[in-house]
Structure 1
Amino acid sequence: MSTRHRLIGLTVVLLWGVNFIAIHAGLEHFPPFFFAALRFAVMAVPVILFVPFPDVPVRWWLLYGVGFGIIQFAFLFLALANGMPTGLASLVLQSSAPFTVVLGVVLLGERMTRRQVAGIAVAIGGMVVIAIDRMQAGAGAGIIPMALTLIAGLGWAFGNLGSRLARSDNPMRLTLWMCVVPPIPLYLMSLVIEGPAAGYDAMATAFTPDGLVALAGLAYVVLLGTIVGSGLWSYLMSKHPASTVAPFSLLVPVVGITASWIALHEQPSLLQLIGAAIVIVGCLAGLMGSARKPAPVKDSQACPTLPEPPGHASRFAPGRRSRQQPAPDGPHREPVAAKAP
Structure 2
Amino acid sequence: MSRYRNAALFLVLAAVWGSSFVAISAGLDHFPPVLFAALRYDIAGVVMLAYAMYAVDHWRPVGRAEWATVVVGAVLLIAAYHVFLFVGQQNTTAAAAAVLVSLSPVLTTGFARALVPSDALSAIGVVGVLVGLLGVAVVVQPDPSNLLATDAVAKFLVFCAAAAFALGSVLTRRIDAPLPIETMEAWSMLGGALLMHLVSLALAEPIEPATWTDPEAIGALAYLALAASAFGFLLYFDLLERLGAVEINMVSYVAPVFTALVGWLYLGEVVGATTVAGFTLIAVGFVLVKRRALRQEVVAAGRRRSGQ
| Structure with the largest fraction of helix | 2
Is 1:171 paired with 2:181?
Answer: yes
Aligned match of 1:15:
16
Aligned match of 1:41:
42
Change beyond 3 A, Cα 1:223–1:214: same
Q: Would you say the 8 A contact 1:248–1:283 is kept in 2? A: no
Change beyond 3 A, Cα 1:86–1:46: closer
- The separation in 2 between residues aligned to 1:164 and 1:292, in whole angstroms, is 23
Q: Would you say the 8 A contact 1:111–1:292 is kept in 2? A: no
Is 1:220 paired with 2:223?
Answer: yes
Aligned match of 1:256:
259
Aligned match of 1:157:
166
* Match runs of 1:178-327 below 5 Å: 178-195=188-205, 198-199=206-207, 201=208, 204-208=209-213, 211-233=214-236, 246=249, 248-284=251-287, 288-290=291-293
Per-residue deviation, 1:260: 1.4
Aligned match of 1:302:
none
Query: Counterpart of 2:102 in structure 1: which amino acid?
Result: Q
Aligned match of 2:151:
142
Is 1:122 paired with 2:131?
Answer: yes
Query: Counterpart of 1:183 in structure 2: which amino acid?
Result: A
Per-residue deviation, 1:71: 0.3
- The structure number with the bigger radius of gyration is 1
Per-residue deviation, 1:63: 0.8
Q: Would you say the 8 A contact 1:123–1:278 is kept in 2? A: yes
TM-score of the pair, normalised by structure 2 = 0.77
State which drifts further: 123-132 or 182-191.
123-132
Aligned match of 1:60:
69
Change beyond 3 A, Cα 1:258–1:192: same
- The separation in 1 between residues aligned to 2:115 and 2:275, in whole angstroms, is 33
Per-residue deviation, 1:100: 0.7
* Partner deviation per Cα, 1:47-90 (whole Å, 9 max, x = no partner): 66783325771111211121111001011110112x11111011
Change beyond 3 A, Cα 1:169–1:124: same
**Residue ranges of structure 2 left out of the alignment (5+ in a row):** 54-58, 298-302
Per-residue deviation, 1:241: 8.7
Q: Would you say the 8 A contact 1:244–1:287 is kept in 2? A: no
Q: Would you say the 8 A contact 1:130–1:272 is kept in 2? A: yes
- The separation in 2 between residues aligned to 1:282 and 1:8, in whole angstroms, is 25
- The separation in 1 between residues aligned to 2:37 and 2:93, in whole angstroms, is 18
Per-residue deviation, 1:253: 1.9
Per-residue deviation, 1:257: 2.1
- The separation in 2 between residues aligned to 1:111 and 1:6, in whole angstroms, is 33
Per-residue deviation, 1:217: 1.3
SS of alignment partner, residue 266 of structure 1: coil
Question: Which protein, 1 or 2, shows the higher relative CO under an 8 Å CA cutoff with sep ≥ 6?
Answer: 2
- The separation in 1 between residues aligned to 2:276 and 2:49, in whole angstroms, is 44
Per-residue deviation, 1:8: 5.8
Per-residue deviation, 1:223: 1.7
- The separation in 1 between residues aligned to 2:111 and 2:246, in whole angstroms, is 10
TM-score of the pair, normalised by structure 1 = 0.70
SS of alignment partner, residue 190 of structure 2: coil
**Residue ranges of structure 1 left out of the alignment (5+ in a row):** 294-314, 316-331, 334-341
Query: Counterpart of 1:65 in structure 2: which amino acid?
Result: A
Equivalent pairs counted in the alignment come to 289
- The separation in 2 between residues aligned to 1:240 and 1:176, in whole angstroms, is 22
Aligned match of 2:300:
none
* Partner deviation per Cα, 1:144-199 (whole Å, 9 max, x = no partner): 1011111111111133235545565643333222211112221121122134xx14
Query: Counterpart of 1:90 in structure 2: which amino acid?
Result: A
Change beyond 3 A, Cα 1:136–1:229: farther
Q: Would you say the 8 A contact 1:72–1:152 is kept in 2? A: yes
* Partner deviation per Cα, 1:3-31 (whole Å, 9 max, x = no partner): 68777655433221111111122211110
Q: Would you say the 8 A contact 2:18–2:257 is kept in 1? A: yes
RMSD: 3.8
Aligned match of 1:93:
101
SS of alignment partner, residue 216 of structure 1: helix
SS of alignment partner, residue 180 of structure 1: helix
